[in-house]
Chains A and B, each alone.
Chain A
Amino acid sequence: MDKQPSLKNYLFDPLWKNNQILVAILGICSALAVTVTMQVALTMALSVTFVTAFSSFFVSLIRKQTPDSVRMIAQLAIISLFVITVDQLLRAYLFDMSKTLSVFVGLIITNCIVMGRAESMAKNVPPIPAFLDGLGAGLGYGSILLLVGAFREIFGFGTFFDMRIIPENWYATFTHPDRYVNIGLMPLAPAAFFLLGLFVWINNLLTKRD
């Protein structure tokens, strides 16, 4: 970024042009694990957006006081603060979801996107742009999560947010074995890998890079 970007750019840049999953290939681990169904993907997307936005804000807020030698530890402490907040809230109010997500909420701490935004952006810019950048990065990540989740849930289970999309009577039965069958690969992790690869390719095609 050579010239001073506007606030809008901070928010919209990481959504597509600089999408952290598609361009920087960060946060792949959780993108594989929690995109089996839409509900889980949505919870994860919101959690990560919350954590990235607020941790970026606070990392930026104390950037002038942070000694360079301990900046990563300081960033981690702030990130953990928000991750644990999310985890505790889920446990209290969305218990079933917290059981499904289990360790993956805690693992947001090690999600490279959060750390990456803190290290490459938040520690260099004022709090408001840092917040917007974190928000954009989280939303960019979340939208890809939802996209992958949509493909996996529709083709893997025939549902969307637990609502049946592919009608029950299209399915193959014992008497009509030649009808529609869910793609068995979709609920498995490799399916997310293929889908992500596809999206990276599309992103590369559409975005002209020097």
Chain B
Amino acid sequence: MPRSSETKHTLRFIFILCFVCALLLSTLATVLRVPQEKAKQFDQNEQLLKAANIQTKDILATYAARIRPMLVDDKGNLVSFQQAGLDYSTYLQKHQKKGFADLPLKLIYEIEELSSKEVRDSPTAKGRQVPFRNWIDSSANSALKDRDCTRATVHTGDKVDGYVIPINGFGLWDAIYGYIGIKADGTTVLGATWYNQAETAGLGANIALPQWQKQFKNKQIFQVGTNGKTDYSRAALGLTVIKGRVSEILGNSPKALSSIDGISGATLTGKGVTDAYADCLAPYRPFLIKLGDAWINSPH
């Protein structure tokens, strides 16, 4: 075969091969996009429920029944999406990448108290209206419940178990996204998860493992003072991933309640996680302070 025709043959071969492969792959990607999105969303909801410390088999129904997206303004007041005139899914799509903490209206998820009736009655609860409410509900819910009995027909589980705050930050390689669940007292952690990360497999990626995440439970995001009390307005806010084990390094000091065991070999990921909590929780401080005040003043 003469040289030029050989080159032509090679080029044609490569072109056809690449074209066929590309065609097949793009078809596959198009066909699988919907199930992939679904799987991702499902996983994200599951992680949110884990952060809220809710164990369930029926993730979609429980999510619909017990988790309600809300907004927090700069002064720490709770605003519903309806009041703010925002659409949840557009809001989510627009700000998902950069996180919600720096927005004037920040995303937060309310965890409704388990009410068996509601789960049975509205397994999807899609068209549910978000009733008017503000932060005060969580403290004086019983009094308000009686007064606002009209909205109880829409939504029975009026008591709030806690809140889930979306967290984002930067790990060693890429952005990391997660959730942290906080009890209604505004400081005790219900759970924490990371649903999207690309850290080093086997090292930093361990932040996504339940074995590591389970130690978050009952930690305090407001550092407890030396007198054993929490000063919500002044205490350092966040959770620190330390080098080594908390029990060995900090022992019983109040700091231990706000510290997490580090993962050896993943110091930078740990630093990213610490920064993510500090940066994302700080804008919620006014809201958390109100929760704390209400908690202290309410009988429980």
Task: Please list the residues of chain A having a beta carbon within 8 angstroms of any beta carbon in chain B.
Answer: 33, 62, 65-67, 69-70, 73-74, 77-78, 80-81, 84-85, 88-89, 91-93, 95-96, 99, 102-104, 189
Q: List 26 A-B contacts (CB under 8 A).
A: A33-B201, A33-B202, A69-B10, A74-B13, A77-B17, A77-B18, A78-B17, A78-B21, A80-B21, A81-B21, A81-B24, A81-B25, A84-B25, A84-B28, A85-B25, A88-B28, A91-B32, A91-B36, A91-B39, A92-B32, A93-B35, A95-B39, A95-B42, A95-B43, A99-B43, A102-B205
Q: Does B40 contact A (CB under 8 A)?
A: yes
State the Cβ distance, B214 to closest chain A Cβ, in Å: 16
B 1-58 contacts with A by CB, 8 A:
6, 9-10, 13-14, 17-18, 21, 24-25, 28-29, 32, 35-36, 39-40, 42-43
Q: Does B119 contact A (CB under 8 A)?
A: no
For the complex, give the distance between the alpha carbons of A103 and B199 in Å: 10
For the complex, give the distance between the alpha carbons of A93 and B37 in Å: 11
Q: Does B175 contact A (CB under 8 A)?
A: no
Task: Please list the residues of chain B having a beta carbon within 8 angstroms of any beta carbon in chain A.
Answer: 6, 9-10, 13-14, 17-18, 21, 24-25, 28-29, 32, 35-36, 39-40, 42-43, 198, 201-202, 205, 208
Cβ–Cβ < 8 Å partners of B43 in chain A:
95-96, 99
For the complex, give the distance between the alpha carbons of A62 and B12 in Å: 13
For the complex, give the distance between the alpha carbons of A77 and B42 in Å: 33
Sample of 17 further A-B pairs with CB below 8 A, known A77-B17, A103-B201? A33-B201, A67-B10, A73-B14, A74-B13, A77-B18, A77-B21, A81-B24, A81-B25, A84-B25, A89-B32, A91-B36, A91-B39, A92-B32, A93-B39, A95-B42, A96-B43, A102-B198
- The B interface is mostly helix, strand or loop, or mixed, namely helix
Cβ–Cβ < 8 Å partners of B35 in chain A:
92-93
Known pairs A67-B9, A78-B21; A92 contacts B208 (CB<8 A)? no
User: Which chain A residue lies CB-closest to B9?
Assistant: A67
User: Which chain A residue lies CB-closest to B41?
Assistant: A95
Cβ–Cβ < 8 Å partners of B32 in chain A:
88-89, 91-92
For the complex, give the distance between the alpha carbons of A99 and B206 in Å: 11
For the complex, give the distance between the alpha carbons of A89 and B42 in Å: 16
Beta-carbon contact of B28 and A102 below 8 Å: no
Q: Which of A33, A92, A96, A104 contacts B36 (CB 8 A)?
A: A92
For the complex, give the distance between the alpha carbons of A88 and B29 in Å: 7
Cβ–Cβ < 8 Å partners of A81 in chain B:
21, 24-25
Cβ–Cβ < 8 Å partners of A104 in chain B:
201
State the Cβ distance, B12 to closest chain A Cβ, in Å: 10
Cβ–Cβ < 8 Å partners of B9 in chain A:
67
Beta-carbon contact of A85 and B28 below 8 Å: yes
Cβ–Cβ < 8 Å partners of B17 in chain A:
62, 74, 77-78
Cβ–Cβ < 8 Å partners of A84 in chain B:
25, 28
For the complex, give the distance between the alpha carbons of A23 and B24 in Å: 35
Known pairs A74-B14, A88-B32, A91-B32; A99 contacts B208 (CB<8 A)? yes
